[in-house]
Chain A
Protein backbone atom coordinates (compact mmCIF):
# COMPACT_ATOMS: atom_id res chain seq x y z
CA UNK A 1 0.00 0.00 0.00
CA UNK A 2 1.01 3.67 0.19
CA UNK A 3 0.96 6.30 2.89
CA UNK A 4 -0.86 9.35 1.59
CA UNK A 5 -1.21 12.63 3.44
CA UNK A 6 -3.31 15.67 2.63
CA UNK A 7 -3.11 19.20 3.93
CA UNK A 8 -5.17 20.83 5.24
CA UNK A 9 -7.48 18.21 6.72
CA UNK A 10 -10.28 20.76 6.91
CA UNK A 11 -10.86 24.43 6.34
CA UNK A 12 -13.58 27.04 6.45
CA UNK A 13 -13.21 29.72 3.79
CA UNK A 14 -14.99 32.84 2.63
CA UNK A 15 -16.59 32.99 -0.78
CA UNK A 16 -14.40 34.49 -3.48
CA UNK A 17 -11.16 33.21 -1.97
CA UNK A 18 -8.96 30.30 -3.09
CA UNK A 19 -7.59 27.28 -1.24
CA UNK A 20 -4.71 25.03 -2.24
CA UNK A 21 -4.80 21.41 -1.10
CA UNK A 22 -1.62 19.36 -0.98
CA UNK A 23 -1.25 15.61 -1.49
CA UNK A 24 1.97 13.83 -0.55
CA UNK A 25 2.77 10.15 -1.13
CA UNK A 26 5.57 8.18 0.52
CA UNK A 27 6.64 6.51 -2.73
CA UNK A 28 6.81 7.39 -6.39
CA UNK A 29 3.55 6.77 -8.21
CA UNK A 30 2.62 7.07 -11.86
CA UNK A 31 -1.00 8.13 -11.49
CA UNK A 32 -2.49 10.68 -9.11
CA UNK A 33 -6.14 11.65 -9.20
CA UNK A 34 -8.28 14.33 -7.56
CA UNK A 35 -11.90 13.57 -6.60
CA UNK A 36 -14.70 15.67 -5.16
CA UNK A 37 -17.43 14.37 -2.89
CA UNK A 38 -20.30 16.78 -2.38
CA UNK A 39 -22.43 16.33 0.76
CA UNK A 40 -24.35 13.06 0.68
CA UNK A 41 -23.05 12.17 -2.78
CA UNK A 42 -20.62 9.73 -4.33
CA UNK A 43 -17.14 10.57 -5.55
CA UNK A 44 -16.62 12.37 -8.84
CA UNK A 45 -13.28 12.60 -10.60
CA UNK A 46 -12.08 16.16 -11.14
CA UNK A 47 -8.87 15.44 -13.02
CA UNK A 48 -5.85 13.22 -13.46
CA UNK A 49 -2.65 14.92 -12.34
CA UNK A 50 0.07 14.24 -14.90
CA UNK A 51 3.72 14.63 -13.97
CA UNK A 52 5.45 17.09 -16.27
CA UNK A 53 2.37 18.07 -18.25
CA UNK A 54 -1.06 19.63 -17.83
CA UNK A 55 -3.71 17.78 -15.90
CA UNK A 56 -6.47 15.93 -17.75
CA UNK A 57 -9.85 17.31 -16.67
CA UNK A 58 -13.19 15.53 -16.65
CA UNK A 59 -16.25 17.01 -18.27
CA UNK A 60 -17.64 19.83 -16.16
CA UNK A 61 -14.31 20.74 -14.55
CA UNK A 62 -11.99 23.44 -15.91
CA UNK A 63 -8.42 24.43 -15.26
CA UNK A 64 -9.29 28.01 -14.32
CA UNK A 65 -11.47 26.79 -11.46
CA UNK A 66 -9.36 23.81 -10.36
CA UNK A 67 -5.71 24.36 -11.32
CA UNK A 68 -3.53 21.35 -10.55
CA UNK A 69 0.20 20.97 -10.23
CA UNK A 70 2.28 17.78 -10.29
CA UNK A 71 5.93 18.77 -9.95
CA UNK A 72 7.20 15.23 -9.23
CA UNK A 73 6.07 11.64 -8.73
CA UNK A 74 5.24 12.02 -5.02
CA UNK A 75 3.41 15.34 -4.78
CA UNK A 76 0.43 17.19 -6.24
CA UNK A 77 -1.69 20.21 -5.41
CA UNK A 78 -5.28 21.10 -6.23
CA UNK A 79 -6.46 24.70 -5.95
CA UNK A 80 -10.14 25.54 -5.61
CA UNK A 81 -10.40 29.06 -7.01
CA UNK A 82 -12.94 31.84 -6.49
CA UNK A 83 -14.90 29.63 -4.12
CA UNK A 84 -18.66 29.63 -3.66
CA UNK A 85 -20.79 27.68 -1.14
CA UNK A 86 -21.38 25.06 -3.87
CA UNK A 87 -17.69 24.13 -3.59
CA UNK A 88 -18.24 22.87 -0.06
CA UNK A 89 -17.16 19.25 -0.37
CA UNK A 90 -14.61 16.68 0.63
CA UNK A 91 -11.65 16.70 -1.77
CA UNK A 92 -9.64 13.49 -1.98
CA UNK A 93 -6.50 12.56 -3.82
CA UNK A 94 -5.83 8.99 -4.86
CA UNK A 95 -2.82 7.17 -6.22
CA UNK A 96 -2.20 3.99 -8.11
CA UNK A 97 -1.73 1.53 -9.39
CA UNK A 98 1.36 0.76 -7.34
CA UNK A 99 4.13 -1.60 -8.25
CA UNK A 100 2.88 -5.18 -8.20
CA UNK A 101 -0.82 -4.45 -8.32
CA UNK A 102 -3.71 -2.44 -9.70
CA UNK A 103 -5.22 -1.32 -6.40
CA UNK A 104 -5.75 2.40 -5.80
CA UNK A 105 -5.47 4.16 -2.47
CA UNK A 106 -6.97 7.38 -1.14
CA UNK A 107 -5.69 10.14 1.05
CA UNK A 108 -7.62 11.10 4.19
CA UNK A 109 -9.43 13.94 2.41
CA UNK A 110 -9.82 17.68 2.90
CA UNK A 111 -13.18 18.81 4.22
CA UNK A 112 -13.92 22.26 2.81
CA UNK A 113 -16.72 24.55 3.93
CA UNK A 114 -17.32 27.78 2.03
CA UNK A 115 -19.38 30.48 3.74
Chain B
Protein backbone atom coordinates (compact mmCIF):
# COMPACT_ATOMS: atom_id res chain seq x y z
CA UNK B 1 0.00 0.00 0.00
CA UNK B 2 0.85 3.68 -0.10
CA UNK B 3 3.52 4.97 2.31
CA UNK B 4 2.77 8.12 4.32
CA UNK B 5 5.68 9.69 6.17
CA UNK B 6 5.39 12.59 8.57
CA UNK B 7 8.12 14.78 9.97
CA UNK B 8 9.24 15.70 12.48
CA UNK B 9 7.99 12.94 14.80
CA UNK B 10 8.20 15.27 17.80
CA UNK B 11 8.14 19.04 18.09
CA UNK B 12 8.47 21.16 21.22
CA UNK B 13 7.66 24.86 21.01
CA UNK B 14 7.28 27.90 23.20
CA UNK B 15 3.92 29.60 23.02
CA UNK B 16 3.86 32.13 20.19
CA UNK B 17 6.29 30.27 17.94
CA UNK B 18 5.52 29.14 14.39
CA UNK B 19 5.96 25.62 13.03
CA UNK B 20 5.76 23.57 9.84
CA UNK B 21 4.75 19.93 9.72
CA UNK B 22 5.41 17.85 6.63
CA UNK B 23 3.66 14.86 5.06
CA UNK B 24 5.20 12.90 2.16
CA UNK B 25 3.27 10.21 0.31
CA UNK B 26 4.48 7.62 -2.15
CA UNK B 27 1.63 7.48 -4.69
CA UNK B 28 -1.03 9.64 -6.30
CA UNK B 29 -3.94 10.53 -4.04
CA UNK B 30 -7.44 11.91 -4.44
CA UNK B 31 -7.95 12.74 -0.79
CA UNK B 32 -5.58 14.19 1.78
CA UNK B 33 -6.68 15.23 5.24
CA UNK B 34 -4.96 16.71 8.27
CA UNK B 35 -6.26 15.83 11.73
CA UNK B 36 -5.48 16.97 15.26
CA UNK B 37 -5.87 14.34 17.96
CA UNK B 38 -6.56 15.97 21.28
CA UNK B 39 -5.49 14.54 24.65
CA UNK B 40 -8.85 12.77 24.96
CA UNK B 41 -8.20 10.85 21.76
CA UNK B 42 -10.70 12.60 19.54
CA UNK B 43 -9.69 13.26 15.93
CA UNK B 44 -10.52 16.78 14.84
CA UNK B 45 -10.69 17.53 11.11
CA UNK B 46 -8.35 20.39 10.24
CA UNK B 47 -8.18 20.37 6.46
CA UNK B 48 -9.38 18.39 3.49
CA UNK B 49 -6.73 19.37 0.96
CA UNK B 50 -5.90 17.01 -1.93
CA UNK B 51 -4.26 19.97 -3.70
CA UNK B 52 -3.77 23.70 -3.31
CA UNK B 53 -3.69 25.94 -0.25
CA UNK B 54 -6.23 26.57 2.48
CA UNK B 55 -6.24 28.72 5.59
CA UNK B 56 -8.29 28.56 8.75
CA UNK B 57 -7.31 31.11 11.37
CA UNK B 58 -3.78 30.46 12.60
CA UNK B 59 -3.55 27.23 10.62
CA UNK B 60 -2.89 26.82 6.93
CA UNK B 61 -2.05 23.90 4.67
CA UNK B 62 -0.56 23.40 1.25
CA UNK B 63 -0.54 20.24 -0.84
CA UNK B 64 1.64 19.89 -3.94
CA UNK B 65 0.11 16.76 -5.42
CA UNK B 66 2.57 16.52 -8.32
CA UNK B 67 5.48 16.37 -5.86
CA UNK B 68 3.58 14.20 -3.37
CA UNK B 69 3.82 16.26 -0.22
CA UNK B 70 1.71 18.42 2.03
CA UNK B 71 2.64 21.00 4.66
CA UNK B 72 0.70 22.15 7.70
CA UNK B 73 1.63 25.56 9.13
CA UNK B 74 0.81 26.60 12.66
CA UNK B 75 1.41 30.23 13.50
CA UNK B 76 1.50 31.88 16.92
CA UNK B 77 1.13 28.51 18.61
CA UNK B 78 -0.91 28.14 21.79
CA UNK B 79 -0.86 25.51 24.51
CA UNK B 80 -4.18 24.23 23.20
CA UNK B 81 -2.43 23.30 19.95
CA UNK B 82 -0.65 20.48 21.78
CA UNK B 83 -1.47 16.95 20.64
CA UNK B 84 -0.75 14.69 17.74
CA UNK B 85 -1.17 15.85 14.15
CA UNK B 86 -1.94 13.18 11.57
CA UNK B 87 -1.85 13.28 7.81
CA UNK B 88 -4.02 10.71 6.02
CA UNK B 89 -4.58 9.96 2.35
CA UNK B 90 -6.82 7.98 0.02
CA UNK B 91 -5.02 6.58 -3.00
CA UNK B 92 -6.19 7.64 -6.43
CA UNK B 93 -8.40 4.99 -7.92
CA UNK B 94 -9.40 3.55 -4.57
CA UNK B 95 -12.96 2.28 -4.68
CA UNK B 96 -13.27 1.81 -0.92
CA UNK B 97 -12.05 5.22 0.17
CA UNK B 98 -10.01 3.92 3.13
CA UNK B 99 -7.57 6.34 4.70
CA UNK B 100 -3.87 5.55 5.13
CA UNK B 101 -2.37 7.37 8.09
CA UNK B 102 1.12 8.61 8.78
CA UNK B 103 2.70 8.04 12.19
CA UNK B 104 1.90 11.57 13.29
CA UNK B 105 3.78 14.54 14.75
CA UNK B 106 3.58 14.94 18.52
CA UNK B 107 3.43 18.68 19.22
CA UNK B 108 4.01 20.09 22.70
CA UNK B 109 3.56 23.82 23.27
CA UNK B 110 4.87 25.23 26.53
CA UNK B 111 3.53 28.45 28.08
Contacts and interface: CB of A to CB of B under 8 A. Distances in A.
Interface residues of A, number: 25
Contacts of B68: none
Contacts of B33: 103-104
B110 interface: no
Interface string B1-41: 00000000000000000000000000000110101000011
Interface string A21-36: 0000000000101000
A48 B96 contact: yes
A13 interface: no
B86 A97 contact: no
A63 B50 CA distance: 33
29 contacts: A31-B96, A33-B99, A41-B103, A42-B101, A42-B102, A43-B86, A43-B88, A43-B99, A45-B98, A45-B99, A48-B96, A48-B98, A90-B41, A97-B97, A102-B31, A102-B48, A102-B50, A102-B97, A103-B31, A104-B31, A104-B33, A104-B99, A105-B45, A106-B35, A106-B43, A106-B45, A108-B41, A109-B42, A111-B41
